[in-house]
Amino acid sequence: MRLLILTTLLAFRLSPANAQTPELLTWQDSARDRDIPVAIHHPATGKGAPIVIFSHGYGENHPGSYLQYAYLCEAIAANGSFVVSVQHEIPTDDLLNFNGPARVVRMPNWERGAANIHFVIAELQRRYPDLDHDHISLIGHSNGGDMSVLYSHQHPERIQNVITLDHRRMPILRDSQPRTFTLRSSDQPADPEVLPTESEAKEHGIRVVFLKDTPHNNMDNDADPRQRTEIIDLVTGFLNE
């Protein structure tokens, strides 16, 4: 009975329904004539807060995909970061191409995502100048992780950390800047060369953690209380280092 009560309380504490409501905005990238919905999760103290830009996994252009990681975004905000969750696909976009080599056919989607991230970074500087723009972290699940890693290849000087939740296609940058941390699922392998070798990880300080009981599809709000706690602790612990 005591275990049941503790589990129920933990589920209540981590439930998105009980999290602070994010601020939902739509920003206009006039250079690309594109609307970019964002969900902002505010920390208790905004001035001087580091920035986290979150990229969701592929949701077949569902307009609410960027809201499916509320438990993690709110926990990161509670840890002191200004979190912006970005909606990367909109209903009028082409669906993700699954026919052919992933790094070829999905690259247009990843490049658009990287352009969204670049725009959001610039927009944050304009709208929120009091944030700590020298400490920007990217976090992404699955396809959103591939976008985040691509951005780290394109603009390594703009970000301090890249954290991926089981991205599977885009090879991690073999460098110590930005710092890279990747959580791997218990059921989905990465493509060849995505993850560093043991010697590469040691040389560049890249951290790879395999989760024993967390499937790929249980990293968003479908994660159970134990999985949520594990992911939150690992992500916030890395950000706090």
Q: Tens of pLDDT along 197-223? A: 999 999 999 999 999 999 999 999 999
pLDDT band at 1 (very low <50, low <70, confident <90, very high): very low
| Out of 9-18, 51-60, 84-93, 176-185, least confident range | 9-18
Mean pLDDT across 180-185: 98
Asked if residue 78 has pLDDT above 60, the reply is yes
pLDDT band at 52 (very low <50, low <70, confident <90, very high): very high
pLDDT band at 8 (very low <50, low <70, confident <90, very high): very low
Candidates 187, 181, 180, 112; CA nearest to 147 is 112
Six token digits for residue 99 = 């026919």
**CB-based burial of residue 194 (10 Å sphere; 0-12 exposed, 13-18 middle, 19+ buried)?**
buried
Asked if residue 51 has pLDDT above 70, the reply is yes
In the DSSP assignment, the letter for residue 21 is P
Partnered with residue 26 across adjacent β-strands are 37
pLDDT band at 11 (very low <50, low <70, confident <90, very high): very low
**Cβ atoms within 10 Å of 166's Cβ, excluding its own:** 25
pLDDT digits (tens, 9 = 90+) for 115-134: 999 999 999 999 999 999 99
Residues 6+ apart with CB under 8 A from 216: 142, 166, 185, 187, 188
Quick one: the chain helix, strand, coil %, rounded to 5? 40, 20, 40
Candidates 11, 10, 139; CA nearest to 85 is 139
In this prediction, residue 3 carries a pLDDT of 32
In this prediction, residue 188 carries a pLDDT of 97
- Give me the helices (H) in the chain, please: 2-14, 70-78, 102-105, 107-127, 143-154, 198-204, 225-240
pLDDT band at 12 (very low <50, low <70, confident <90, very high): very low
> Where do we find the tokens 């991230």?
117
pLDDT band at 175 (very low <50, low <70, confident <90, very high): very high
C-alpha count within 13 angstroms, C-beta hemisphere, residue 205: 11
Chain centroid offset of residue 36 CA: 16
Q: Cis peptide before 178, with omega less than 30 degrees from 0?
A: yes
In this prediction, residue 45 carries a pLDDT of 87
